Amino acid sequence: MITHPLAGVYVAAVTPLKEDYSPDLEAIPRLLKFYAERDCHGALLLGTTGEGPSFSPEERKDIWGAATKIREEHPEFRLMAGTGSPSLEETAAYNKLAFELGFDAVVTLPPFYFRTASEDGLFTWFSQIINRSVPGDGWLLGYHFPKVSGVPLSASLLKRLRDAYPEQFGGLKDSSGELAHAKTMVDELEDRLVLVGNDSLMTENLAYGGSGCITALANLVSPDLRQIWDTFALGEPDAEAQQRVDSARELLNPLTPFAASLKGLLPKLTSLPQWAVKPPLMPFAEEALEEAAQSFKELLPYFND
């Protein structure tokens, strides 16, 4: 189990939006408080579940700025910013902004438009990003999500970044969904973070020396994910909690995109309000949400308190 300072359980946060698709800035600290009080170590803002690529630079600034208010009540709550675009300059600007606001790390997509870029090209791109925008006390994590970005981050590329930037390259958010891939990354990156994006891999990732997770489903099952984390640290991983997480993942898997389904499920399961999704995403079908919400209530005891 890696003892990196940012290891832990992270939620891929949804982004509260008003009906006109503008960010609901007052709701963001309330949402993060909900996550903090449901045992998350921190949150990723404007990742895939947060609809990150849908927002302008000014909207990102406002959203990230609102998120920092969580530290007035929960000063130890960690913040990560989802960044990355095909533009080197734009990505560097996003990273600089996030660190200036006090974020702990950025989770950076590769330049996703250029799907045939060479490893040398990607290394040069990430090197420029780190040199221009990641301070000595900040961390950049690569975001490996080839199903969406179309640009995989190879083990050899990540090792080169680790060796070239030992103080700034923090590791990987691995959204491949494959245990074998996560294990390879743990082996190759040694003391760097490998945070899985699939909750069903949580216990096994920790057993292989991984660092935790950043997941969409943590919006709903973070108490169980934290239970797995805490009991694993004590040498007695909670298999029942992992089984609940696995079953919850099976319930959520058909409800894609998760940004839309989670925004529909949260008000049915918690006191959080209904928030809009930003086009091209559309609200999820009400009938499917009602059925899923009932299944989650039957499965997860903390929705019946």
Q: Mark whether 108 is an active-site residue.
A: no
In the chain, the amino acid numbered 149 is S
Q: Mark whether 96 is an active-site residue.
A: no
92, 119, 130, 171, 192 from 158: Cα distances, Å: 19, 10, 13, 8, 10
Measure the CA–CA gap between 227 and 209, rounded to whole angstroms.
Answer: 17
Measure the CA–CA gap between 125 and 83, rounded to whole angstroms.
Answer: 14
Peptide bond into 280 cis (omega under 30): yes
Identified catalytic residue from 48, 49, 91, 215: 48
Q: Burial code of 161-195, b = ≥16 C-beta within 10 A, e = fewer?
A: bbeebeebbbbbbbbbeebebbbbbbebbeebbbb
Identified catalytic residue from 35, 94, 173, 203: 173
Dig out the tokens for 219 from the structure: 């919006």
Identified catalytic residue from 18, 113, 147, 256: 113
Q: Mark whether 48 is an active-site residue.
A: yes
Q: Cα(first)–Cα(last) distance of the chain, in Å?
A: 32
Among 264, 270, 273, 279, residue whose Cα is nearest residue 302: 270
Identified catalytic residue from 10, 35, 94, 143: 143
Q: Mark whether 21 is an active-site residue.
A: no
Q: Which contiguous run of DSSP H or E holds residue 129?
A: helix 119-133
Catalytic positions, written as ranges = 48, 113, 143, 173
